[in-house]
Structure 1
């Protein structure tokens, strides 16, 4: 979902301005109701969150002294554009003994170059360093 209000101080909670928050499909938060889901006018793809909305949530977290939560929202924002099946493959590769060093480094490069996911790419590279130090490859 995207917060179409372009100010730098987002309203918390974002649900208090439901017409200013939209999904990638352009559905406003106020249009997402149980009745709309039940009658099929709102489907699963209509309720995906957007990187912009997650960034708004990150700004709210930072403004409230929660930098770790803000970082998690930013990681999620980066991953929101990565296909679900690819995320599951990456998750499995990150398990100890899930992938070799070069495969993980290729995943980091992919995250960075194809999706602009620099925070997540750094996370994968950090995992490579830790796995090497612990002999997990």
Structure 2
């Protein structure tokens, strides 16, 4: 979703462009009400943020002159496709001295090939190289 964001007209998105925002299950902000929650019409998966919404927030950040924040939103938009359990496993694998370079590169390949998470895959590859230079890879 590449929408041209105009800060004055479009931000905050939740107030000015609600129609652009949907959850991964297709719910809109108007669907998420206390009544719908109490009636069990809204489940936990209905209130997760979508990849598209995160990318829109990235566009807002870029328009506001914050390209680094946009990149953070890009990484987050890729991660919503991955289970919480796997994200925690990857997080633990990225801790210093927890993984070999080969294990980190395998994670990067998984991120890119299984989930299409290219930005995150490159981040893990970069971490593997830095850990190697700094002696932070697991020593078997």
Q: Aligned pair 1:63/2:75, yes or no?
A: no
Query: 1:124 aligns to what?
Result: 124
Cα pair 2:3 2:56 within 8 Å, conserved: no
TM-score, structure 1 normalization: 0.88
Deviates more, 1:30-39 or 1:114-123: 30-39
| Alpha-carbon distance between aligned partners in 2 of 1:125 and 1:64, rounded to the nearest angstrom | 29
Query: 2:11 aligns to what?
Result: 12
Runs (4 or more) in structure 1 with deviation over 6 Å come to: none
| Alpha-carbon distance between aligned partners in 2 of 1:108 and 1:92, rounded to the nearest angstrom | 14
Figure out how many residues of one structure are paired with residues of the other and give that number. Answer: 133
| Alpha-carbon distance between aligned partners in 1 of 2:120 and 2:20, rounded to the nearest angstrom | 28
User: After superposition, what is the alpha-carbon deviation per residue over 1:96-129, rounded to whole angstroms, capped at 9, x for unaligned?
Assistant: 1221111100000111111111111111011111
Q: Aligned pair 1:73/2:73, yes or no?
A: yes
Unaligned runs of 5+ in 2: none
TM-score, structure 2 normalization: 0.87
Tell me the SS of whatever aligns to 2:5: coil
